[in-house]
A and B are shown apart, each in its own frame.
Chain A
């Protein structure tokens, strides 16, 4: 029933000489939501960004260990990073629509992949926006600037944009941290829907959010993955003392 999607083996990450992730190993499953929690600077965002090799862009960084997606090591030297990123969508902490129209925001990815037929693009725009549950709100103003949308709408637009290239995995870096409770609720509901199709990894500061949306939770602390397991178990009967302390709000 559970299909293994991503597996990390002894993943370590360095900024220069500084160790940011220390030998992290665990599995993430297809069509499940995995939440990464922990205090700021614990390495959870860094970990997320190693999954689509966004950290490659930062000079002076180094990765040890392996990340296997469907059994393939994405840090293998023969891997094409650009194509890899096409299959792994990413949503960022601050909503970051391009300063273009809503329509152009969604078609950006497909166009880069060489899709230029108007009908196909129209279809992609509609389906992506529908999947991100924002179609009804914007369908009449697709040619308006995306910067005119509210924060919550912008973030859902960014999700739609990430979906436009048909990824299999969706990485979310605190997608709701800058949003009001209503928008947050909508995003959480959306995540619940999206996991039927995608493998979702979400970084969050908000413990309740992790508990509400994720099936599995990994607790990071000081660059180490302290505990990993079913969300319910982590939140109700954690094995490690540190995890319990963090979850009950004693630090972080």
Chain B
């Protein structure tokens, strides 16, 4: 090895003359007296305003996402807030006269307390504003009209089933108590408005349960098939198909459920009400399947191959490995997937509006119409008078939905991820 190499110093001594000459002749090699030298002055710290500004600006914008979450919290709760303060006051028209402290300040601008600017309390003028807006929206139709006309069971059936003692016991007419939120009747637009959230909550849970019972097994098994059994070409077909399903706008799924699925399912199961919790649940399952599938598949793919290889090496068959090794190892991920699926269904508005029938009935029958929390907001917000009790209750429902999905996401994020990490990193490294 040594003999082959010509060391630079030998090479230099061989052509010493040439080297020096070329150094001297190379214009780039000549030391310019003004050229840069490494001195304290030439390398003194420079202030770069654009650098500083861009960093601050980028950092500031990045905080926007956090700010939006906080603002959503704040503004949704702010609009819901009045129902907590006007507890003992008369609702509807009387309210306007009772709270002058908010009313007087609207003109004086921004120096006042946060609840006051923008929060139009139902003063007579503002009420008018609210009304003009409704006209502009063009949504002059009453909420009872949502859903398909022929099965508008809404008000009438509701009245028949729950009248009498329960109600009068809960709310003396025209007064709003917080406790009335726990009432069994949701009847915001009537002579004597009732804001009982129970039927809405039960309805939402009912639809969610139906949807998740349908979506979760289907999506999880499909993901298992895709990961463990499908040949390469089939996997490459399943993925785009699921992505395509994920690309369906929920209004399209809702429309499909409303026009085609409802009729088809009615023909099969023979129930009475065409639009009901069952139809809505199945339709929402279609919206939740892509999420559950994707998250499940990801978590199955994240399982180290050594896991299944070890199982196969012990003589287990492919299906045994899939069901007894892959599936259990992916449980935290599947759990997260189901949570996210529930979150998606729980807050789904358009499908609920279009396919569940929208009657706030309190019943355990899956084939009866229901009205979900999200659909209630979607259907009624456009018609309420800004600032009145109904308006605030709708925002309160929104706040509930928000807190619920926020919590679901937080659980999926922190609990599940932590568990997943411990499982694999702990055992592998």
- Identify which of B29, B37, B44 contacts A70 (C-beta below 8 A): B37
Bound-state CA distance A236–B23 (Å) is 29
Q: Does B9 contact A (CB under 8 A)?
A: yes
**In the complex, residue of chain B having the shortest beta-carbon distance to the beta carbon of A195:** B8
Bound-state CA distance A70–B39 (Å) is 8
- Identify which of A80, A87, A230, A235 contacts B5 (C-beta below 8 A): A235
Q: Does B58 contact A (CB under 8 A)?
A: no
- Report yes or no: B46 in contact with A80, Cβ–Cβ below 8 A: yes
**In the complex, residue of chain A having the shortest beta-carbon distance to the beta carbon of B36:** A87
- Report yes or no: A235 in contact with B26, Cβ–Cβ below 8 A: no
Bound-state CA distance A104–B232 (Å) is 42
Bound-state CA distance A166–B31 (Å) is 12
Q: Does A78 contact B (CB under 8 A)?
A: yes
Q: Does B190 contact A (CB under 8 A)?
A: no
Q: Does B38 contact A (CB under 8 A)?
A: yes
**In the complex, residue of chain A having the shortest beta-carbon distance to the beta carbon of B30:** A197
Bound-state CA distance A28–B84 (Å) is 76
Q: Does A214 contact B (CB under 8 A)?
A: yes
| Given known A-B contacts A78-B45, A82-B46, A196 and B5 have beta carbons under 8 A apart | no
- Report yes or no: B9 in contact with A72, Cβ–Cβ below 8 A: no
Q: Does B19 contact A (CB under 8 A)?
A: yes
- Report yes or no: A83 in contact with B39, Cβ–Cβ below 8 A: no
Chain A interface, number of residues (Cβ within 8 angstroms)? 33
Distance (whole angstroms) from the CB of A238 to the closest CB of chain B: 12
Question: B10 — which chain A residues lie within 8 A by C-beta?
Answer: 232
Stretch at the interface among A10-18, A142-150, A205-213: A205-213
Chain B interface, number of residues (Cβ within 8 angstroms)? 27
- Identify which of B5, B28, B39, B48 contacts A72 (C-beta below 8 A): B39
- Report yes or no: B8 in contact with A192, Cβ–Cβ below 8 A: yes
| Given known A-B contacts A72-B43, A83-B42, A208 and B1 have beta carbons under 8 A apart | yes
Question: A231 — which chain B residues lie within 8 A by C-beta?
Answer: 7-9
Distance (whole angstroms) from the CB of B5 to the closest CB of chain A: 5
- Report yes or no: A197 in contact with B28, Cβ–Cβ below 8 A: yes
Q: Does A215 contact B (CB under 8 A)?
A: yes
- Report yes or no: A127 in contact with B28, Cβ–Cβ below 8 A: yes
Residue-wise interface mask of B (5-27) relative to A, using a CB-CB cutoff of 8 A (1 in contact, 0 not): 11111110000000100110010
Q: Does A84 contact B (CB under 8 A)?
A: yes
- Report yes or no: A80 in contact with B7, Cβ–Cβ below 8 A: no
Bound-state CA distance A213–B10 (Å) is 11
- Report yes or no: B44 in contact with A212, Cβ–Cβ below 8 A: no
- Report yes or no: A214 in contact with B23, Cβ–Cβ below 8 A: no
- Report yes or no: A84 in contact with B43, Cβ–Cβ below 8 A: yes
- Identify which of B29, B36, B38 contacts A197 (C-beta below 8 A): B29
| Given known A-B contacts A80-B46, A131-B28, A168 and B5 have beta carbons under 8 A apart | no
- Report yes or no: B23 in contact with A196, Cβ–Cβ below 8 A: yes
For chain B, residues 312 to 347, give those with C-beta under 8 angstroms from any C-beta of chain A. Answer: none
- Report yes or no: B6 in contact with A212, Cβ–Cβ below 8 A: yes
| Given known A-B contacts A79-B43, A84-B43, A69 and B5 have beta carbons under 8 A apart | no
Q: Does B113 contact A (CB under 8 A)?
A: no
For chain A, residues 172 to 219, give those with C-beta under 8 angstroms from any C-beta of chain B. Answer: 192, 196-197, 208, 211-215
Q: Does A33 contact B (CB under 8 A)?
A: yes
Question: B1 — which chain A residues lie within 8 A by C-beta?
Answer: 208
For chain A, residues 63 to 81, give those with C-beta under 8 angstroms from any C-beta of chain B. Answer: 69-72, 74, 76, 78-80
Q: Does B2 contact A (CB under 8 A)?
A: yes
Bound-state CA distance A11–B48 (Å) is 29
Residue-wise interface mask of B (89-106) relative to A, using a CB-CB cutoff of 8 A (1 in contact, 0 not): 000000000000000000
Q: Does B427 contact A (CB under 8 A)?
A: no
Question: B40 — which chain A residues lie within 8 A by C-beta?
Answer: 72, 76, 78
Bound-state CA distance A196–B42 (Å) is 24
Question: B22 — which chain A residues lie within 8 A by C-beta?
Answer: 196
Bound-state CA distance A233–B23 (Å) is 26
| Given known A-B contacts A196-B19, A208-B1, A235-B2, A214 and B39 have beta carbons under 8 A apart | no
Bound-state CA distance A214–B28 (Å) is 21
Distance (whole angstroms) from the CB of A104 to the closest CB of chain B: 21
Question: A168 — which chain B residues lie within 8 A by C-beta?
Answer: 36, 38
Bound-state CA distance A84–B43 (Å) is 6
**In the complex, residue of chain A having the shortest beta-carbon distance to the beta carbon of B37:** A70
Bound-state CA distance A82–B51 (Å) is 11
| Given known A-B contacts A196-B22, A196-B29, A214 and B8 have beta carbons under 8 A apart | yes
Question: A214 — which chain B residues lie within 8 A by C-beta?
Answer: 8
For chain A, residues 38 to 80, give those with C-beta under 8 angstroms from any C-beta of chain B. Answer: 69-72, 74, 76, 78-80
**In the complex, residue of chain B having the shortest beta-carbon distance to the beta carbon of A211:** B5
- Report yes or no: A208 in contact with B9, Cβ–Cβ below 8 A: no
**In the complex, residue of chain B having the shortest beta-carbon distance to the beta carbon of A77:** B45
Question: B11 — which chain A residues lie within 8 A by C-beta?
Answer: 192
Distance (whole angstroms) from the CB of A204 to the closest CB of chain B: 13
| Given known A-B contacts A80-B44, A168-B36, A232 and B28 have beta carbons under 8 A apart | no
Question: A31 — which chain B residues lie within 8 A by C-beta?
Answer: 23
Distance (whole angstroms) from the CB of B1 to the closest CB of chain A: 7
- Report yes or no: A211 in contact with B7, Cβ–Cβ below 8 A: yes
Question: B46 — which chain A residues lie within 8 A by C-beta?
Answer: 80, 82-83
| Given known A-B contacts A72-B38, A87-B38, A196-B26, A215 and B43 have beta carbons under 8 A apart | no
Question: A79 — which chain B residues lie within 8 A by C-beta?
Answer: 43-45
Question: A72 — which chain B residues lie within 8 A by C-beta?
Answer: 38-40, 43
Question: A236 — which chain B residues lie within 8 A by C-beta?
Answer: 2
Besides A31-B23, A192-B11, A231-B8, 16 more A-B contacts (Cβ < 8 Å) are A70-B37, A71-B38, A74-B38, A74-B43, A79-B45, A82-B46, A83-B42, A83-B43, A83-B46, A84-B43, A127-B28, A168-B38, A212-B5, A230-B9, A232-B7, A235-B2
A-B contact pairs, 25 of them (CB 8 A): A70-B37, A70-B38, A72-B39, A78-B43, A79-B43, A82-B48, A83-B42, A83-B43, A84-B43, A87-B36, A87-B38, A192-B11, A196-B23, A197-B29, A208-B1, A208-B4, A208-B5, A212-B5, A212-B7, A214-B8, A215-B8, A232-B7, A232-B9, A232-B10, A235-B5
State the 6 A-B residue pairs at the shortest beta-carbon distance, nearest first. A70-B38, A232-B7, A211-B5, A196-B23, A69-B38, A72-B38
